[in-house]
Amino acid sequence: MAAQLNTGGHKLRALREALGFTMRDVAAASARIARRLGNEDFSIPPSRLSDIETKGVVPNVFRFYSLAAIYRRDYRELLSFYDIDLNGIPMDLSAARPLRSHLSQVLNNVTKIRVPLRMDPRFAFQKTADLGRIIEQWGVVPLASLSAFADDRYSYGYIGEEDFTMYPILPPGSFVQVDETLNKVVEGTWRSEFERPIYFIETRNGFTCSWCDIKPEGLVLQPHPLSPVPVRILKHPQEAEVVGQVVGVAMRLGNQRTAGSLQARRVRPAV
């Protein structure tokens, strides 16, 4: 166990020695960083650096910053010395379920993703299939390599655990893809609820997804007929603004909260 704790410190020491720095050199440089930022937490005394390198002491977030600057290395790389991989955060999103709907920025700082590298040649898009059996090989790809597919018009939202506005077609806990170029409410006659555009709305009290209509009195937020949330009319754009149209959704089926549980708790409208 002790050897595992020392691994990060040993790697930091190797970086320091490769650059020809003494512990006092690092301490002096960190003191200059601390003075510039007006915060002594960025300073690393020689005794503390010795503890970090030899006794398994983990640097705090401020000292990680100083070490990254002094050693000319990426902050993420230094975190990886202690088995912290920020690219793994998306896989842990299900550990907590926020109650309020919101825009998610967790993917903004992800630099690598796992993608399928080889598919079963018998795979056909026309048929429903088990992707786990179709993907023959996974690999890690830097997101920079996917820049050709980047599209800034999309943002991503999360439907809060207490937001039943579009239940059951957008249940709480769903992730939605929002096209911000489609931020004008479209009027029309829809043959089914799946044809009618759903919009991601920002209000003074937060976010929600809803069908919308523009009326002289304001923006009408129309919930799903099976939702316990009432129709709301908000002044537009003073009280409500259309972020964009929902164009994609990822949701978990089973083990979901129901609209009945919302009514039982006498939960107020999501926004």
CATH of the domain at 243: 2.10.109.10
pLDDT value at residue 60? 96
CATH of the domain at 13: 1.10.260.40
Residue 103 in any domain: the answer is: no
Three-state DSSP at 104 gives: strand
DSSP percent split of the chain into helix, strand, coil, nearest 5:
35, 25, 45
Residue 102 in any domain: the answer is: no
pLDDT value at residue 155? 83
Within this chain, do residues 159 and 145 fall inside the same structural domain, yes or no?
Answer: no
pLDDT value at residue 148? 45
Within this chain, do residues 158 and 255 fall inside the same structural domain, yes or no?
Answer: yes
Q: Are 115 and 135 in contact (CB under 8 A)?
A: no
Alpha-carbon distance values, 261 to 110, 165, 216, 223 (Å): 35, 14, 35, 17
pLDDT value at residue 63? 97
Tell me which residue range forms the domain holding 61. Answer: 2-80
In degrees rounded to 5, what are phi and psi of residue 166?
A: -110, 20
Alpha-carbon distance values, 67 to 27, 34, 60, 112 (Å): 10, 12, 11, 23
Which of 182, 180, 125, 157 lies closest to 250 in space, CA to CA?
Answer: 157
Residue 100 in any domain: the answer is: no
pLDDT value at residue 145? 45
Within this chain, do residues 250 and 174 fall inside the same structural domain, yes or no?
Answer: yes
What is the distance of C-alpha 138 from the center of its chain?
A: 22
Rounded Cα distance, 218 and 69, in Å: 52
At 164-210, the pLDDT tens digits run 999 999 998 888 888 999 999 998 888 999 999 999 999 988 899 99
Residue 255 in any domain: the answer is: yes
Within this chain, do residues 159 and 189 fall inside the same structural domain, yes or no?
Answer: yes
Residue 204 in any domain: the answer is: yes
Q: Are 71 and 16 in contact (CB under 8 A)?
A: yes
Alpha helices per DSSP H over the chain: 2-18, 23-37, 46-54, 61-71, 75-80, 131-134, 259-264
Within this chain, do residues 171 and 256 fall inside the same structural domain, yes or no?
Answer: yes
Rounded Cα distance, 6 and 40, in Å: 25
Residue 190 in any domain: the answer is: yes
Within this chain, do residues 16 and 69 fall inside the same structural domain, yes or no?
Answer: yes
Within this chain, do residues 27 and 65 fall inside the same structural domain, yes or no?
Answer: yes
Within this chain, do residues 121 and 71 fall inside the same structural domain, yes or no?
Answer: no
Within this chain, do residues 120 and 206 fall inside the same structural domain, yes or no?
Answer: no
Buried b (16+ CB within 10 A) or exposed e, 205-240: eebbbbbbeeeeebbbbbbbeebbbeebebebeebb
pLDDT value at residue 218? 94
Q: Are 243 and 155 in contact (CB under 8 A)?
A: yes
pLDDT value at residue 112? 58
pLDDT value at residue 271? 47
Residue 270 in any domain: the answer is: no
pLDDT value at residue 149? 47
pLDDT value at residue 5? 44
pTM over 0.85: no
Residue 271 in any domain: the answer is: no
Strands (DSSP E) found in the chain: 102-104, 112-119, 135-142, 154-158, 175-179, 199-203, 206-215, 218-222, 232-234, 240-250
Within this chain, do residues 225 and 198 fall inside the same structural domain, yes or no?
Answer: yes
Rounded Cα distance, 92 and 48, in Å: 32
Within this chain, do residues 158 and 145 fall inside the same structural domain, yes or no?
Answer: no
Count of domains in the chain? 3
Per-position pLDDT tens, the chain of length 271: 344 445 899 999 999 999 999 999 999 999 999 999 999 999 999 999 999 999 999 999 999 999 999 999 988 899 999 999 887 777 777 788 788 877 776 666 665 555 555 667 765 555 544 455 556 665 555 544 444 445 567 888 888 888 999 999 999 888 888 899 999 999 888 899 999 999 999 998 889 999 999 999 999 999 999 999 999 999 988 999 999 999 999 887 766 666 655 554 444 454 4
Which of 249, 256, 158 lies closest to 208 in space, CA to CA?
Answer: 158
Within this chain, do residues 138 and 158 fall inside the same structural domain, yes or no?
Answer: no
